[in-house]
Structure 1
Amino acid sequence: MTLETIAALFAAAGLGLGGWAAGRRLGRQNQVSPLLFSMVVVLALVAAWALSGRLLWAVILPSAEAIFWANWMPAILCFTAGLATSTPGLHRWHRPATVGLLWILAACFWVGPFARPWIAPATVLDDDWIGWRRGVCLQSHPSTCGPASAATLLSEHDIRSSEKDLMATCFTSRWGTEPLGLYRGLTLASAHAGLKPQPASPDSRQWVHRGQVPNVAIVRLGVEDSDGSLSRWFGAAQERHAITVLGRTDDGLWLIGDPAIGLVSWTDAQMQKRFTGEAICLVPDHSVRSRHRAVAGKRFEAMVSDLTSEQSR
């Protein structure tokens, strides 16, 4: 846990207490009907849930700990708990039970990103780590596609990292990895190399023009995309999956580092169908920009040659 992590947790706690005080004051000054209270709860939670963990926050709060700074759920739940203390429709044990439940939920969301790997660890035995295949880090657990894809992206910039190390810094659990968790892991792993992660364009056709490849992209793969051998990795239809987009070939194919199966190619139609709009690339500063371009270019050419050779066999 870094100092910034601690600062972000304390800031979230402060916002929660502020939300509690604001909710109590508003509830005392205005008679809040049960219907209005219910509407506030539902709308606030839906809005917070919809924005939770989105890469949008990495643009607004470009920090490794954006996953904590952007965690507004505790403040909203505490505000709602404060409001519940004066809602006329809550009587007897309903009021303390509602307030207590909201406080418990706020505490769970407060430590959520940090606690997820402890509550539901993505356990991989020492003998089960798969490793690398043709420059692609393969996932060793159905839920570790994010760290594996991040390791592949880092290797494209000549940074050595492992799926195991990134699982810890990305807060990966059995439930997967949040996009802001990926952003955190990439930030911490690339800082010493003069690189900084940033969200890539939601339009994949802009990536090459903007210099945003290679990147880690979040895609959705349904049953129709599986040949049966992938079902053990992807699970239910339309499950989110992380891949490394390595570049685009001269004939318009996307070269993909899929942590579930290795090096593959997608057509642009497949990319447009599967891409969710969230991707992270690494941007070098001016002092190392030319060196990283040269390294990435050589690696990409070697991977294209490797894939072409295998397909021609």
Structure 2
Amino acid sequence: MNPKSTASQYTPVRITTIKAERTVTFPVYIHFKEQYLEYIKPSTAIDKEKYKKLRKQKITKFYILSEDEVKYQDFLDSFLEEALSNPNTSIEEKSEIVTGQAETAIDKMGADPGNENNFNMTRKAAKNLQKLIFENPDALKNLFGTGEEYNPIIQHSINVAVLTIKFATKKKLPEEEVDYLSTAALMHDVGLLENDTLMETFMVPKNEFTPQQKKEYYEHTKGIIPLLSEKPYINQNIIEYIQSHEENLQGLGPHKLKKLTPSQEILSMINSYDKIVTARKLTPKDAIKTMMIDELGNYSLKMLNDFQAFLKEEGLV
């Protein structure tokens, strides 16, 4: 530990992205009693028993030095490539690693949405989610709502991404659109992450919003857009999907859109669905029943029926 170090020198990474008995090329820290303590030294690995103990204690994050982010990303890329291509790695373990990458990426985007490295990590996470889902028919069950994420918005974002990838593909959307949608789904609520008031409002059912809550909450679809639009490396489709994810066919969203493309309707509908699951703590089965009553008109009957059938086919309800 460096006694002169400050929190800004460290960046959080999910513990699931640094596995036991895998050598790291950078120091890894834990945060304990307001201090950052070196837990894994460079060129060493954490043993299985220590790793199991941390997981049992519900430790979800390690920390690395901000200057070591490139080394960490190289480490993670190599780790993921090996794990996803190894037929002997279980679906559960693959899902855990990819989910950890997505959790870390969303966390970083929330802290600094204008950072190109953070965006690139989010894109990689989205592509790895796609790869895992496309190559493993049962992966969705292992990805949806099963993470250890303490932050409901991050868990929600991953749920929306995995459901969107599989459902949009079933609806025969072009591969490129599915790709952009998956990234937008991971990013769609980053505007909430650094605002405690909005994070609390996220847990409130929309039909219970006060006028002030509604106005403030919908700002998360607006405030981040100018920042993202300035970045030449972010595709405009991704930005448009993020901007329209609270819209519906009745024009009751923040931008008052009444016409939605299939991609926009899918992302908005799945966002509404998982908000019921994550924020209101309904089961997936009860959530879709609620959607079929409360959201009819906001989304087309065919889209809702197709989504309900999809959830049944996937064994989620």
Report TM bin, short chain.
under 0.3
- Which structure's residues are more often strand, by fraction? 1
Greater Rg by CA: 1
Normalising by structure 2, what TM-score? 0.25
- Which structure's residues are more often helix, by fraction? 2
